[in-house]
């Protein structure tokens, strides 16, 4: 049996050096991420506001005839989609039509007060827009993105998708990197089983913005894309938070390691003295 004197010598500093390097890496990651988060928040503050913008009011009082005509056209479109299988069916909606839909239709209520459609162009929709955003984590404050927003309508996965193509804030510049991170607005994600909207969404083959109108249609020659890229959803903020959490967990792990190491040394020291 080998005696303690013959045991191979081990440097007590090797393990400590590795732990010190890991601790330095963890501190570096947290410091860089915290700095990036503060810098990002500062940049966002430059083109956001502390209060929401007041959008033009969508007036529905006294416009019963207009609203009745709009709802009748929508109902005829739905009935044709459901009952006239394999036949071309379409509906054209103006900016006023969409505003009235925002004001009166339940499926659009979560966007009520956030958009006022100004113009429909070839391929795009322009709208006045206000959107609440969380301020600096832990501050409890809200910021508001008040801008003219440019949306690109796309039909994907049986969902009406509106991708954010541009944001214009008066006298401010919104970085393209920030715009690219904004996830698209989607209508229909939670409506496939809805008895009113579900059949329409299931059979639409195209949604297209044309000068002055947004067209929804079913046509045999159309081939809607199967999906829309969600690269925007992976925001820089979330990546920074993940790095902060990983760095924190690494430091906690190092703390536990050193605590257990010190406890083991203390126990061995006590046993050698006994």
Write the CB contacts of 155 (distance below 8 Å, at least 6 apart in sequence): 161, 204, 205, 206, 207, 224, 225
Nearest to 166 by CA among 154, 157, 174: 174
| pTM of the complete model | 0.68
Instruction: For residue 194, give its domain range.
Output: 64-232
- Give residue 1's pLDDT: 46
Mean of the per-residue pLDDT values for the chain?
Answer: 77
Compute CA distances 183 → 34, 75, 77, 186, whole Å: 24, 30, 29, 9
Give the H/E segment covering residue 261. helix 236-273
The answer to whether position 20 is within a domain reads no
Rounded to whole angstroms, how far apart are CA atoms 149 and 68? 29
The answer to whether position 173 is within a domain reads yes
As beta bridge partners, residue 208 has 215
108-134 burial code (b ≥16 CB/10 A, e <16): eeeeeebbbbeebeeebbbbbbbbeee
The answer to whether position 238 is within a domain reads no
The answer to whether position 255 is within a domain reads no
Give the residue, 170 or 196, on which the prediction is more confident. Answer: 170
**DSSP codes of every residue in 53-113:** --PPP---TT-HHHHHHHHHHHHHHHHHHHHSTTS-EEEEE-HHHHHHHHHH-GGGGGGTT
Rounded to 5°, the CA angle 197-203-204 comes to 85
The widest CA-to-CA distance across the chain, in whole angstroms, is 101
Residue 270's pLDDT band, with cuts at 50, 70 and 90, is low
- Give residue 181's pLDDT: 83
Q: Are 210 and 120 in contact (CB under 8 A)?
A: yes
| Cα-trace Rg, the chain | 29
Q: And the tokens for 158?
A: 């049986």
As beta bridge partners, residue 119 has 126
The answer to whether position 1 is within a domain reads no
Q: How far is CA 269 from the centre of its chain?
A: 56
Rounded to whole angstroms, how far apart are CA atoms 26 and 245? 10
The answer to whether position 38 is within a domain reads no
Give the H/E segment covering residue 146. strand 142-156
The answer to whether position 111 is within a domain reads yes
Question: For the chain, how many structural domains are there in total?
Answer: 1
Average pLDDT over residues 94-98: 96
Per-residue pLDDT tens digits for 110-154: 888 899 999 999 999 999 999 888 765 556 678 899 999 999 999
First to last CA, the chain: 22
Is the pLDDT at 87 greater than 90, yes or no? no
Residue 247's pLDDT band, with cuts at 50, 70 and 90, is low
What sign results for the dihedral spanned by CA atoms 249, 254, 257, 263?
Answer: negative
Q: And the tokens for 8?
A: 């191979």
The answer to whether position 220 is within a domain reads yes
């Amino acid at each position: 049996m080998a005696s303690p004197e013959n045991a191979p010598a081990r440097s007590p500093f090797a393990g400590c050096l590795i732990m010190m390097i890991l601790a330095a890496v963890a501190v570096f990651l947290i410091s860089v991420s915290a700095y990036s988060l503060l810098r990002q928040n500062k940049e966002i503050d430059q083109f956001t506001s502390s209060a929401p913008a007041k959008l033009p009011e969508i007036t529905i009082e006294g416009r019963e005839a207009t609203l009745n005509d709009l709802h009748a056209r929508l109902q005829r479109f739905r009935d044709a989609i459901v009952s006239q299988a394999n036949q071309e069916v379409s509906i054209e909606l103006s900016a006023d039509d969409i505003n009235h839909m925002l004001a009166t239709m339940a499926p659009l209520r979560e966007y009520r007060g956030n958009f006022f459609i100004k113009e429909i162009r070839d391929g795009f929709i322009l709208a006045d827009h206000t959107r609440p955003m969380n301020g600096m984590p832990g501050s409890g404050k809200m910021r508001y993105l008040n801008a003219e927003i440019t949306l690109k309508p796309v039909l994907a996965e049986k969902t009406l998708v509106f991708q954010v193509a541009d944001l214009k804030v008066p006298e401010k510049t919104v970085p393209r990197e920030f715009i690219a991170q904004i996830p698209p607005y989607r209508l229909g994600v939670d409506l496939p089983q809805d008895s009113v909207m579900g059949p329409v969404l299931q059979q639409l083959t195209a949604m297209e913005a044309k000068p002055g109108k947004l067209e929804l249609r079913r046509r045999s020659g159309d081939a809607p894309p199967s999906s829309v890229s969600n690269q925007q959803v992976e925001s820089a903020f979330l990546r920074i938070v993940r790095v902060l959490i990983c760095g924190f967990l690494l430091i906690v792990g190092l703390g536990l390691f050193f605590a257990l190491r010190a406890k083991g040394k203390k126990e061995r020291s006590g046993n050698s003295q006994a």
